[in-house]
Amino acid sequence: MRDLLAAGKWKEADEETLALMLKASGSKEGNSFTQSISIFPCTDLRTIDHLWVKYSDGCFGLSVQKKIYLSVGGKADGEYYKEAWIKFGDRVGWRVKENWISDSDIAFNTSAHEGHLPCAYRFVESFFGSEEEVLFSRVETCEV
């Protein structure tokens, strides 16, 4: 992942981030992402965030996303706050004209909105049926 980020290969780095998250958390098809992310190793989470922040000059990363989420009224307690999630989506560019964008509309470049990446984990919901806010709760617990 580090080499992909250093080379500016944002899409590949995003895909690798999700693969690493699923592997490190022990996620398997049929397991809840919520359950898996709640035991995600803090060291790994900090490393993933550090690399994203470093190679994007502070534009991307889980800590950047958490800061934005909290600034729009979200709480890092694992609960779903619909209004905050909508505002967060608007701020990071995951929503355009009141609609959630598809994966083909993700901007994999540094001109994307602050906090736009990593984003592959947001599509886990369609596989595991869980909410992304659990990740921010883990980010908070791990002091990322």
Domain ranges of the chain: 2-141
Closest CA to 40 of 49, 53, 29, 27: 27
CA-closest candidate to residue 138, choices 57, 43, 73: 43
What lies within 8 Å, CB to CB, of 143 at 6+ separation is 42, 46
The amino acid occupying position 103 is D
CA–CA–CA angle 102, 105, 109 (5° rounding):
135
Q: Residues 44-103: pLDDT tens digits?
A: 999 999 999 999 999 999 999 999 999 999 998 878 788 998 999 999 999 999 998 888
- 113/136 Cα distance (integer angstroms): 18
> Helices (H), strands (E): how many in the chain?
8, 2
pLDDT at 125 over 50: no
pLDDT the model gives residue 48: 95
Q: Cα–Cα distances in Å, from 38 out to 25, 30, 43, 57?
A: 8, 16, 13, 28
pTM comes to: 0.88
